[in-house]
């Protein structure tokens, strides 16, 4: 009897282990990925219905988690005509003891857009403290009033540990704005807005720049941005460029000292035979190693968008570069 029970226990345990392994995925389908680590677990957020969420212990095998929003934010449904719950381009940070997740509300090709904010004390869904609190709209752009687009947020602290938000897509480029000390709204005393990057709004570029991400290393702030066209599968031409500045507010210059506000930007990575396009990156340091997190359109899988994680190195002049293992 004991022998039979032992066999049954082993079979059940093996089945549970197999199910757990089956729930983990590689080559996960994402757009606009951002990442953070809490208590040894990596959490990834990406564009998707309700904001797609994944977790991993090694940045290789990923478990699908419940989305941040179970239903579309009511305020967003009222503010942006045509929005139906597909939330774009989140950005995750840990600030003042909480996790801050900014997110984009918009519809394709229009600049009636909003950036919202939701916070949580923990990212562990099994914790009793796990609860997302939505703070609603932080920044908005209005068609006919603004020649910029309030999507693709990225949170960054300046040298005085004051919060700022970079953002922007197409139109007249990328912006940087000072936030209130609690980072829930635009600071108005005084307002501080800066243009940090743009490209000509004429063919072939046609203003195609978006997804700013500012990463501080040493004495420089590095501005990463995505150029050309995303979201077209096999026809995607997405690529990443970078500039740097000793001041958060810029000017950001590329290797040839061309300002990113004048179309500059040193090429970091573009598509090739294996990936049709690559972009919308974020940058993090884990265990003294810098990582470039982004999505690419997989040529081996009909141009579907996949997560890419690559180590980021720096040359003797402190410019970033990556080693790709296809």
Cα distances from 216 to residues 71, 221, 231, 318, in angstroms, run 35, 4, 28, 12
| Percent of the chain at pLDDT exceeding 70 | 92
pLDDT tens for 146-174 read: 999 999 999 999 999 999 999 999 999 99
Number of compact structural domains in the chain: 1
C-alpha span between 211 and 167 (Å, rounded): 7
Tokens 């908005």 belong to: 140
C-alpha span between 166 and 155 (Å, rounded): 7
Residue 16 has pLDDT above 50, yes or no: no
**Is 11 buried (19+), middle (13-18) or exposed (0-12) by CB count in 10 A?**
exposed
Closest of 210, 170, 198, 174 to residue 264, by C-alpha? 198
| DSSP symbol at 179 | B
Give the pLDDT confidence score for residue 26 in this predicted structure: 85
Cis peptide before 235 (omega within 30 of 0): no
Q: What is the mean pLDDT of residues 127-131?
A: 98
Quick one: tokens of 56? 């991993």
Give the pLDDT confidence score for residue 22 in this predicted structure: 52
What residues make up the domain containing 233? 2-322
- Can you list the alpha helix ranges (DSSP code H) found in the chain? 2-22, 74-79
Left if phi > 0, otherwise alpha if psi is -120 to 50, otherwise beta: which for 65? beta
Q: What is the mean pLDDT of residues 207-233?
A: 92
In a 3-state reduction of DSSP, which class is residue 261? helix
Residue 236 has pLDDT above 70, yes or no: yes
Q: What is the mean pLDDT of residues 210-225?
A: 98
Give the pLDDT confidence score for residue 203 in this predicted structure: 76
The pTM (predicted TM-score) of the whole model is: 0.91
Please answer whether residues 43 and 120 qualify as being in contact, where contact means their C-beta atoms are separated by less than 8 angstroms.
no
* Four-point Cα dihedral 271, 277, 278, 279, nearest 10: 130
In a 3-state reduction of DSSP, which class is residue 306? strand
Residue 49 has pLDDT above 90, yes or no: yes
In a 3-state reduction of DSSP, which class is residue 8? helix
Tokens 């480029």 belong to: 173
Dihedral sign for Cα 268, 233, 155, 97, please.
negative
| DSSP symbol at 300 | G
| DSSP symbol at 169 | B
Give the pLDDT confidence score for residue 201 in this predicted structure: 85
**Where in the sequence numbering do the catalytic residues fall?**
32, 210
What CATH number does residue 128 fall under? 2.115.10.20
Residues 112, 118, 124, CA angle at the centre, nearest 5°?
Answer: 140
DSSP one-letter string for 192-235:
-EEEEE---SSTTTTT-EEEEEEEEETTEEEEEEEES--S-GGG
Residue 11 has pLDDT above 50, yes or no: no
Residue 250 has pLDDT above 90, yes or no: yes
Residue 95 has pLDDT above 80, yes or no: yes
pLDDT tens for 254-289 read: 999 999 999 999 999 998 988 889 999 999 999 999
pLDDT band at 111 (very low <50, low <70, confident <90, very high): very high
């Amino acid at each position: 009897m004991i022998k039979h029970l032992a066999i049954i226990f082993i079979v059940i345990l093996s089945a549970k282990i197999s199910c757990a392994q089956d729930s983990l995925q590689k080559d996960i389908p994402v757009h606009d990925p951002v990442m953070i680590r809490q208590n040894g677990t990596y959490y990834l957020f990406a564009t998707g219905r309700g904001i797609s969420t994944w977790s991993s212990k090694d940045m290789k095998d990923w478990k699908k988690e419940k989305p941040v929003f179970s239903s579309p934010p009511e305020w967003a449904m009222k503010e942006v005509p045509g929005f139906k719950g597909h939330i774009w381009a989140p950005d995750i940070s840990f600030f003042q003891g909480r996790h801050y997740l900014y997110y984009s509300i918009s519809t394709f090709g229009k600049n009636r857009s909003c950036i919202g904010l939701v916070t949580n004390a923990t990212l562990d869904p099994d914790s009793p403290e796990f609860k997302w609190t939505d703070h609603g709209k932080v920044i908005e752009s209005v068609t006919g009033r603004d020649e910029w687009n309030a999507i693709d947020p990225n949170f960054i602290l300046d040298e005085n540990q004051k919060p700022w938000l970079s953002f922007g897509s197409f139109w007249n480029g990328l912006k940087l704005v000072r936030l209130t000390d609690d980072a829930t709204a635009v600071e108005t005393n005084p307002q501080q807005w800066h243009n940090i990057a743009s490209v000509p709004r004429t063919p072939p570029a046609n203003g195609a720049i978006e997804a700013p991400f500012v990463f501080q290393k040493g004495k420089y702030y590095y501005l990463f941005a995505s150029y050309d066209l995303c979201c077209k599968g096999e026809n995607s031409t997405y690529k990443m460029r970078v500039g740097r500045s000793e001041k958060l507010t810029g000017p950001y210059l590329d290797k040839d000292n061309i300002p990113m506000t004048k179309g500059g930007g040193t090429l970091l990575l573009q598509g090739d035979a294996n990936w049709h396009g690559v972009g919308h990156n974020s940058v993090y340091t884990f265990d003294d190693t810098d990582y470039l997190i982004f999505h690419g359109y997989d040529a081996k899988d009909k141009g579907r968008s996949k997560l890419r994680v690559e180590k980021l190195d720096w040359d003797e002049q402190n410019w970033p570069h990556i080693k790709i293992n296809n």
